[in-house]
Amino acid sequence: MARSESDSSKTRHEKRAKLRKVPELASADQIWSSMLDGRYAVAVRRLQFSSGELTVRESKNLIHSQKVNLMYGAIFGADVDDVTLWKEIATKIVDGLNEVPEVLRKNRSAGGPVD
């Protein structure tokens, strides 16, 4: 029996939805998580009412961990300002791992004039 066109398009849409699906939080204590550069998993989990722990992992390896504050205790989820700060922290950590070559750090481009 041949599949109808609507069945095949439904299957195609289901496959796309699975690819786009945002990963669920790993535990009830986890408040927020995100992927950075498609390589680093960044997450914040609750430690106490107004504090949490931010972690940056590459695969299963812990790269960085630090205590962070939770605005309003994050009772309705992560606050926008907290998320902005957490993204900045994670970006700085990852950028520190992927150092910019010495030439670029001195505001010079390769092959450019040297002061």
pLDDT band with cut points at 50, 70 and 90 for residue 111: very low
Q: What is the mean pLDDT of the chain?
A: 74
pLDDT band with cut points at 50, 70 and 90 for residue 64: very high
- Strand stretches in the chain, DSSP E: 30-36, 40-48, 51-58, 61-69
pLDDT of 56 over the 60 cut: yes
How big is the chain, counted in residues? Answer: 115
In the chain, % of residues over pLDDT 70: 61
Q: Summarize pLDDT for 2-23 with one digit per residue, the tens.
A: 555 555 555 655 555 444 444 4
pLDDT of 100: 54
pLDDT of 49: 86
Q: Summarize pLDDT for 13-49 with one digit per residue, the tens.
A: 555 544 444 444 556 788 999 999 899 999 999 998 8
Q: Mean of the pLDDT values across residues 61-82?
A: 86
pLDDT of 95 over the 60 cut: yes
The DSSP annotation for 80-107 comes to: HHHHHHHHHHHHHHHHHHSPPPHHHHTT
Q: What is the Cα–Cα distance from 67 to 48, expressed in whole angstroms?
A: 11
